[in-house]
Amino acid sequence: MRIACGCCDVVSYFPQHSGIIVKPSIAAIQHFQTKGWAVGSSPKEDFCPKHASPSKRKGATIMAENTAPVADKPRDMSREDRAIIFDKLNEVYGKDAYKAPWTDGMVAKDLGVPRDWVSVTRDAMFGPAGSNPLFDDFLLESARMESQFRTYASACEAATQAVDAQKAAQAALSKQMDVYRALARKVEREIGR
């Protein structure tokens, strides 16, 4: 019996007839497999020991390692960037603080530059960030509303638990009442005789 590799011209043989005894085909498959061959269901799927692993066959693609893309180094602030930020800060920064509704983040977003650049330029040329009265009022009101909402949510949770407890108590009382009524009927029948 003969086997040929599906990738190259390598051929191997198995003596199926040795004298009078004819060996079964399963013996040939086992013979080729012990020699390192990959025996497939058709001749095109038979591979020699060199091509037995799928990665060594023709047309097999080797998976490239997935490496995380390397982020570019952030660019440094140029003189022009500093001048643009300075002009914008002149426009939106008051005596000791930003004018409403400006902040470092809003300036950075408006100019399309990193927030750190705005913070560094403002600290060096104008002073501290100061506070924006409108923004401070918003933060104070947000904290107050969030506190009220948490109080309301906990009160709702307590009310829900109380309703569940009342339903459970009512169910238990209903079962006891059913037992009592059955006993009362039994007593009435006994007395009524």
54, with CB counted inside 10 A (0-12, 13-18, 19+), is exposed
What pLDDT sits at residue 127? 79
User: What integer is the mean pLDDT of 118-145?
Assistant: 83
pTM exceeds 0.75 for this model: no
What pLDDT sits at residue 55? 66
What pLDDT sits at residue 181? 94
Residue 124 exposure: Cα atoms within 13 Å on the Cβ side: 10
Q: Per-residue pLDDT for 56 more than 70? A: no
> In a 3-state reduction of DSSP, which class is residue 60?
coil
> Confidence band (pLDDT; 50, 70, 90) for 63?
low
What pLDDT sits at residue 67? 64
Q: Helices 79-92 & 104-111, crossing angle to 10 degrees? A: 130
Radius of gyration of the chain (CA): 43
Q: Please, where are the H alpha helices in 63-132?
A: 79-92, 104-111, 115-125
Q: Per-residue pLDDT for 61 more than 70? A: no
| Single-letter amino acid code for the residue at 77 | M
Please tell me the distance from the alpha carbon of residue 94 to that of residue 103, in angstroms, as a whole number: 12
Q: Per-residue pLDDT for 57 more than 70? A: no
Ranked by mean pLDDT, the top range of 73-77, 93-97, 181-185 is 181-185
> Confidence band (pLDDT; 50, 70, 90) for 168?
very high
